Structure 1
Amino acid sequence: MQGSIVLLVLGLTAAFAAPLLEDDEWVLVPDEHMQLRLMNLKDVEFQMNLENRGSFNVVFRLYTRENPKEGEIIVPGDAESLAKSNFNPNNPTRIVSHGWGGSGNSNTIRTCREAYLYRGEFNIIGVDWSEGADSKNYIKARNNVNEAARQVAQLADFLADHGMKFNDLYLIGHSLGAHVVGMTAKKVTRGKVNTIFGLDPAMPLFFEKKPNERLAVGDAEYVQTIQTNAGVLGFDVPIGDASFYPNWGGDQPGCGIDIAGTCAHYRSWAYLGETIKETPDEFIGVKCESYQSIVDRYCPYKGVTGVMGGQPSNHSIVGVFYLPTAKDTPYALGKFYQ
């Protein structure tokens, strides 16, 4: 699957591609300029083994309606920092992680923070693992996912010890951050996370056959993915209980010439933010027979629909879904099928 998508992106002909991929497996890896490079997987694995996982601290900032723009730093294990904050265990908690090259001021965190606090009373916690994610070396940043997840899990367990209910906890992550929250949910010890929203989970150096190393079904009571740059920067196959593919999961309207796929990759958090706010038009997808329907770009309406994202999440929405969007915000088109 990955090989065929690599060929599509690079525009290689089948005649040239066959000998290229005959003996080796190749993957697309973004470089420091977020441009994609074709690399031999054997070489990548060798480099990953050489790269030392960084020693870094994750910073957690709490936002509530009492402090919607200035985050309060919470330190896992420090009960005083929590007691002095606006954290309210009676309110639902949303922990949001940025991806590669991001920080505590990333658009993913800001968009989710604003959307949830517009909607109601929440504890929004931004995960700033920029010390591990800001490396110009993608391989090193990918290697830091587990350490970031360990620290986020430590925070979640700490909050549970101070009244937070795991049934009120959602984890949200974009790109590499989607795997951070997936691995976080695997590592928590006080309960099981209610919902994970994986926003175009990163594909480079993550593999379908290794769910224990990435976001996967079963990490939470419910896992939903929004896959907007499938097969390039984002994961191609469905990896959630429900997987939505806006505009077939590839080029997104309004992105223009998006060769590297970054615009489409970023649309996932923009779509989720809009689904959380109360809007007259919803992101309604039609259920497809399988992922092959997405590949074939043929998913006729057969009476079953599902709403993408939203607050609260709907655990009954399961399967693969297609929906179109507008090219500008508001992106939702509501009921588009006949």
Structure 2
Amino acid sequence: MKALVILTLTITCVLATPIDFNETEVQPSFDVYRDVRLLLSTRRNRGNPYRLLFRNLENLRASPFDPEKPIRVLIHGWWEDDTSDISVETSEELLNYYDNNVIFVDWSEGSRTINYIGAANRVDPVGFFVASQLNWMRENGFTHFDRVFVIGFSLGAHAAGFVGKNTGGQLFSIVGLDPAGPLFREGRPEGRIDASDARHVECLHTNGGLIGLGIGAHICAADFFPNGGSSQRGCLTNTCSHLRAVSFFVESIQNNGFHSQRCTSELQASRENCNSGGGQWFGHTDNARNNLRGIFHFATNRNEPFAQGPFRN
């Protein structure tokens, strides 16, 4: 808890300090080729992730990877690692419901730093590294981009965007879970997750606003603003509201009850008075197939289960 308080205070200082993100240098101690780990989990090796070596054909062929099955890539956020919910809970729930290859991107050597600015600068090279692996896998016949889903949380959402940018916007789907706000500008789509990064890009905003940890803006093809998108029911801190994005996604995987209403604007979503129709479920694979676009709102419960329904399997 003390660490979370320190991190929240650091974010507040970043928000209050005018910094030119373009001029901030990446700390030289972090090397993506040395420090980023790609951890593969399938139904064959649950609980014992297999480390994929970068562009290593022998290593990949010896792994439990199945080229006939889709790939879901998970990318964590600031101060997280392979024990975070986006790794453990999300991977487990995905494998319960989908017989896929789940690749967790562990960039904790670059994210576990009190220097948020340094960590934020690393999402671009992390995304490039992951994209290079996926490009190589496609070139060698191990996958097709229409079978690749990338899910990222916070800074990891922007890293997911850079994965998409460096694969030519050809990936099937990217889901950004409360993309980080500090230092990422709504007016600079080339420097953050964006609607053009994949065939379908969907974002969930749980802690936007002037002092929130998320960007909280309509930057993706489909943007969902639960409970107004700034603070979440049952939460007293920004950290809690920010982390709810992962909890909502995990809950949506098997029994999706996050049924939304379409909004005409972000303002309408923030006021929770959307009434322009709906029938869409956050995080559902049909959203990508149907090229869902727009701004959406749904309400949640204060505690688990968060979804209020109606439900869709």
What TM-score, normalized by structure 1, do the two folds share? 0.83
User: Which one of 220, 226, 246 corresponds to residue 246 of structure 1?
Assistant: 226
Measured against aligned partners, the alpha-carbon deviations of 1:252-291 in whole angstroms (never above 9, x if no partner) come to 1222x21xx01110111111111111x2x62100001111
Measured against aligned partners, the alpha-carbon deviations of 1:201-260 in whole angstroms (never above 9, x if no partner) come to 0000000110000000110000000110112101121111110011111221222x21xx
Cα RMSD (Å)? 2.2
Measured against aligned partners, the alpha-carbon deviations of 1:147-166 in whole angstroms (never above 9, x if no partner) come to 11111111111221232111
Aligned residue pair count? 300
Residue 43 of structure 1: how far off its partner (Å): 4.4
Structure 2 gaps of 5+ residues are: none
Residue 199 of structure 1: how far off its partner (Å): 0.2
The 2-side partners of 1:226 and 1:51 are apart by 28
Letter of the 1:272 counterpart: F
Are 2:93 and 1:119 aligned? Answer: no
User: Which one of 159, 166, 170 corresponds to residue 187 of structure 1?
Assistant: 166
Report the counterpart of residue 79 of structure 2 in structure 1.
Answer: 101
Q: Name the stretch that deviates more: 111-120 or 81-90.
A: 111-120
Q: Is the 8 A contact 1:216 1:239 kept in 2?
A: yes
Report the counterpart of residue 155 of structure 1 in structure 2.
Answer: 133
Measured against aligned partners, the alpha-carbon deviations of 1:33-67 in whole angstroms (never above 9, x if no partner) come to 33242457774228953553532421000000011
The 2-side partners of 1:147 and 1:39 are apart by 21
Q: Is the 8 A contact 1:32 1:138 kept in 2?
A: no
Letter of the 1:332 counterpart: A
Partner of 2:181, secondary structure, is: coil
Q: Is the 8 A contact 1:99 1:173 kept in 2?
A: yes
Measured against aligned partners, the alpha-carbon deviations of 1:275-318 in whole angstroms (never above 9, x if no partner) come to 111x2x62100001111212333212x33331100245444322
Report the counterpart of residue 145 of structure 2 in structure 1.
Answer: 166
Percentage identity across aligned positions? 31
The 2-side partners of 1:322 and 1:141 are apart by 31
Report the counterpart of residue 82 of structure 1 in structure 2.
Answer: 60
Q: Is the 8 A contact 2:225 2:270 kept in 1?
A: no
Are 2:192 and 1:214 aligned? Answer: yes
Are 2:298 and 1:323 aligned? Answer: yes
Q: Is the 8 A contact 1:31 1:138 kept in 2?
A: no
Report the counterpart of residue 213 of structure 2 in structure 1.
Answer: 233
Letter of the 1:122 counterpart: N
Report the counterpart of residue 31 of structure 2 in structure 1.
Answer: 55
Report the counterpart of residue 273 of structure 1 in structure 2.
Answer: 250
Partner of 2:133, secondary structure, is: helix
Q: Is the 8 A contact 2:206 2:230 kept in 1?
A: yes
Report the counterpart of residue 33 of structure 1 in structure 2.
Answer: 7
Measured against aligned partners, the alpha-carbon deviations of 1:96-142 in whole angstroms (never above 9, x if no partner) come to 00001111221112222112111121000000001111111000001
Partner of 1:81, secondary structure, is: helix
Are 2:120 and 1:142 aligned? Answer: yes
Change (3 A) 1:123 1:303: same
Report the counterpart of residue 178 of structure 1 in structure 2.
Answer: 157
Q: Which has the higher strand share?
A: 1
Q: Is the 8 A contact 1:31 1:136 kept in 2?
A: no
Letter of the 1:303 counterpart: G
Change (3 A) 1:323 1:182: same
Return the index of the structure with the highest Cα Rg.
1
User: Which one of 287, 295, 320 corresponds to residue 270 of structure 2?
Assistant: 295
Change (3 A) 1:31 1:264: closer
Residue 168 of structure 1: how far off its partner (Å): 0.6
Residue 83 of structure 1: how far off its partner (Å): 0.7
Letter of the 1:206 counterpart: F
